[in-house]
A and B are shown apart, each in its own frame.
Chain A
Amino acid sequence: MKKITLTLKINDEKYEIITYPNRTLLEILRDDLLLTGTKESCGEGACGACTVLLDGLPVRSCLLLVTEAKDCEITTIEGLAKGEKLDPVQESFIEHHAIQCGFCSPGMILTARSLLNHNPAPTEEEIRFAISGNVCRCTGYAKIVEAIQALSNRGRE
């Protein structure tokens, strides 16, 4: 297997990477770039811990060959806060106690961010569906849904 060179655009920064082609985006983020905010839980697309935004949409980075992420805008949890200023979704998760062990939080927060970008006024039902691919073992989701609802232009209906 020959090594390949590729460029990834992550959190508005360009990274030149030399690697083998049989790598997932998740492996590159965590092992090569030390962007360990993105988590691996199941490794087979069934839990959502490894969620990153690809051109603004949540995807499973554990199922994404790194070569498939070329030419895309990648956002990881490290790219959400602007310097010291947290993203409102991060603020809301903290405020509403939507985080317990925190292992699912990066993926959950990115999924919520994307939902709100595409639909600023989601209903509770829409929120629950949007995050239905992100498994949380601690919270029972109630406070996660509340945290997202608090940012919905619709409020808590």
Chain B
Amino acid sequence: MGDFSLIGKSMKRIDTPLKATGQAQFSSDLMLPRMLIGKVLRSPYAHAKILEIDISKAEKLPGVKAVITAKDTCADKWGVFRYTQDQQFLPTDKVRYVGEEVAAVAAVDEDTAIQALKLIKVEYEELPAVFDMKSALESGAPLIHQDHPGNINIHVNIDVGDVAKGFGESYYVREDTFTAPEDSYFQGEPYAVVAQYDHTGSLEIWMPNAGPHLKAKPLSNVLKIPLNKVRVRKIAIGGAFGGRSEISPADVICAFLARKSQRPVKLVYTREENSIATRQAHSMIATIKTGVNKEGRVISRDITCHMDGGAYSSTGPIAVSVPFLCMEQAYQMDNIRYNGYRVFTNKPIRGMFRTHGRAFACGVDLQLDMIGQELGINPLEMRLRNARKVGEFTPTKSYVASCGMTETILKAGEKASWNEKWGKLPPYHGIGIGCNSVQTGFPMGIRGGSQAFIKFNEEGGITVITGIVDNGQGNDNMIVQIAAEELGLGVCDVQLVNADTEVTPSDPGSYSMCETFIGGNAVRLAAQDAKNKLLKIASEALKASPDELTVKDRKIYIEKSPDKSISLSKVIRIALSRSESISGEGSYWPKVDSKREWVENPSGQLSETFSFGTVITEVKVDPETGKVDVLEVTAAQDVGYALNPKVIEGQFEGGIAMGGQGGMLSEYILWYNGRVLNPDQLDYMVPLAIDMPRINNIIVETIDPNGPYGAKEAGMSIAMSAAQAYCGAICNAIGVDIKEFPLTPDKILNAIEKKQKVKGDEGSE
């Protein structure tokens, strides 16, 4: 790669001084004059008809300034897709889960708002409810949505090659079923919205989001105001992890309260509301049948996966597809059938999650270990033999333009001393490996591309204007890093205006870590556009052709005789004196197949590029308690090119904590008839500093042909590979394949005891 000043360097992130000093403002930190406090009334029933809502007493309580119900939101429905519009922002006919929004108030303070909620009388008629997929699918089960017989929300069917023939040709075939309960996001920052709506009919709103433009459009639809009157503002965001992407009833409720009261309203979710009334990750039952040849190469695979989607569709079609797509990217497979069903139950709504399905990912990977055991091939070798290679197409016809899967397996294996350890560790010690792949974005329709603008001031400093949003992963810094690099500027010369729908152009949002690839490319193009204009003027001044010139350290000079230079500010001033302005514009559209559709046509280029990665975990299991001590984790990931290595390492480490340590050992939602028993931070066990193992990070660079400087997705698939590696290591340590996740100590201990009993029985024979 070229000689860069900032790119490829672990520069300090531009956003962190504000975060280190408490100056960074998050949505709940905002205070506006005359601001009211909003609160939401939620359903105490999992499934019930709403017969009547009486708000008259609440409205009369002194200090209450607005009360809203479905009457105010006109019973409007929301859905990510036209065919999934099934969730009313406030329901009219019935509630479908405990915690569903029913009404809301805005009052002068929180206590008054809470008191007002108690004065709202809702008459319900309870209906029979279903809390698990099995009961939801039974014939005669209560229907959650009348137009979805059998409570099947989405069915994704993918069928490539000839699966039956593939099994026929296989040397060894096995089928296993894997299950996992729901996960919570547990973003550090609870969901919070601040909205104000003035007499000119325009809305200004702040909330943690993964795409401000994706929030603005549904708000414009439901408020029935032009899109340009919806101003989603930039604000610091305390994590997303796949959540916070779609519109939330909280956004709509807060906007309506602000409109009705004509005062700013702040609505902050409690930790419990955050757990039950934003999104959860799907629980899952995945049955995987795999056939291989003698060498362990997968010939045929048939997967049936049921995902508990809760009460509404949300991002259903995407969520049902992504776990499969990640695996078809990661591993070669010719004959493949996938049937993914998203099932409605009377539980909270499920959405996209960084660790896309423990049961799915661990199922596919752990099964490779089991097959390998049967064939005498070790897990690392099994993965090498099936690894995706550059230049191939996935079964659903995505071209893989860059791929370091094999390299990540080899490098992780070497660093973790796989060959020295596999099969040679002491009793109850284990080592496991997991591989996965994530798409760098996916088709987003008319919002799939990103645009950026750059303008100069008379001193040669710039303002970059882009829709890219930063949820905490460092996107703000990425923008500045790219713009400054391209224009030969210092970090302090760059001002950033982003993630504000009034000012910034369209952008797909921060999904699948696609902002670097899509938004980053747009910023780079904008900078190059501006640079070309600068060089043109400079070439006249320096009497050289533009392609002989270089921009660096706020100067433009002739590359071969660097003493001949002109300062950037001089060039700008020349332009201004000629009544010309210098600005840059860039736009990038990922080359995806626009005809590809999640349910109707799951074939064609899904994403322009894909990341690939491997995690190896070494553990020690206490055979008396089933408790796991994680000794070391090694993560190797093909990130294309590391724009900022330390930022990337942070993504790896966070992914291991969420997907591996938490996802495999301690995180799970517990239930009581549709109620979440652990919505809190005490019993939903997010890993602590003292729990985390030593981590080795290996950045693998394949220089993607289309990524900015070769960069692509960086941290998401690590979360999944980590879950798989943890799972493999524990099963290796105890010599039992557990197929129910997470691997809590009680399950591990039961497995050990069962195995000892079998051994004992065999011994006595």
Q: Do chains A and B touch in the complex (CB under 8 A)?
A: yes
Question: Using Cβ atoms and an 8 Å threshold, which residues of chain A touch B650?
Answer: 97, 100, 138-140, 142-143
Is B28 an interface residue when CB atoms closer than 8 A count as contact?
A: yes
Q: What residues on A are CB-neighbors of B649 within 8 Å?
A: 97, 142-143
CA of A101 to CA of B650, assembled, Å: 11
Q: Which of B13, B31, B187 contacts A34 (CB 8 A)?
A: B31
Tell me which residues from 88 to 111 in chain A have a Cβ below 8 Å from any Cβ of chain B: 90, 93-97, 99-106, 109
Q: Do the beta carbons of A90 and B682 come within 8 Å of each other?
A: no
List, in ascending order, chain B residues with CB within 8 A of A42's CB: 271, 680-682
Query: Hey, which chain B residues are within 8 Å of A134, CB to CB?
Result: 689
Q: With both chains docked as a complex, state the minimum distance between the C-beta of A96 and any C-beta of chain B, in angstroms.
A: 8
Contact with B188, one of A44, A49, A81, A144 (Cβ below 8 angstroms): A49
In Å, the complex CA distance between A139 and B190 comes to 17
A76 and B270 contacting across the interface, CB-CB below 8 Å:
no
A7 contacts the other chain (Cβ, under 8 Å)? Answer: no
Of residues 487 to 517 in B, which have CB atoms within 8 Å of A's CB atoms?
Answer: none
Closest to B646 in A: A97
Cβ-based interface call for B17 (8 A): yes
Min distance, Cβ A60 to any Cβ of chain B, angstroms: 12
> A46 within 8 Å of B by Cβ?
yes
- The residue from B270, B653, B680 contacting A139, defined by CB atoms under 8 A apart: B653
**Interface 9-residue window, one of B469-477, B539-547, B555-563:** B469-477
Q: Judge whether B16 is part of the interface by a CB distance below 8 angstroms.
A: yes
**B623 at the A/B interface (Cβ < 8 Å)?**
no
Report the bound CA distance from A34 to B462 in whole Å: 33
Contact with B along A117-152 (1 / 0, CB 8 A): 000000000011101111111111111110000000
* A interface footprint on B178-204 (CB within 8 Å = 1, 0 otherwise): 000000001111100000000000000
Q: Are A40 and B239 in contact (CB under 8 A)?
A: no
Q: Are B21 and A86 in contact (CB under 8 A)?
A: yes
Would you call B689 and A128 a contact (CB within 8 A)? Answer: yes
Q: Are A43 and B472 in contact (CB under 8 A)?
A: no
**Do residues A140 and B654 form an inter-chain contact, with CB atoms below 8 A?**
yes
Q: Check A41 against B190 for contact (C-beta < 8 Å).
A: yes
Residues of chain A contacted by B655 (CB below 8 angstroms): 140
B13 CB to closest chain A CB (Å) equals 7
Let me know if B20 and A100 touch, CB within 8 A: no
Is B137's beta carbon under 8 Å from chain A?
no
Tell me the bound Cα distance from A95 to B473 in angstroms: 16
Q: Are B695 and A140 in contact (CB under 8 A)?
A: yes
A137-B188, A143-B646 as given contacts; A100 in contact with B681, CB under 8 Å:
no
Q: Is A71 an interface residue (CB 8 A)?
A: no
**Known pairs A41-B190, A93-B16 / 5 extra A-B pairs, C-beta < 8 Å:** A38-B22, A46-B680, A97-B650, A139-B650, A140-B650
Give A residues with C-beta under 8 Å from B: 30, 34-44, 46-47, 49, 76-78, 80-81, 86, 90, 93-97, 99-106, 109, 127-129, 131-145
Chain A to chain B contacts (Cβ below 8 Å), 5 pairs: A95-B12, A103-B238, A131-B689, A140-B654, A141-B657
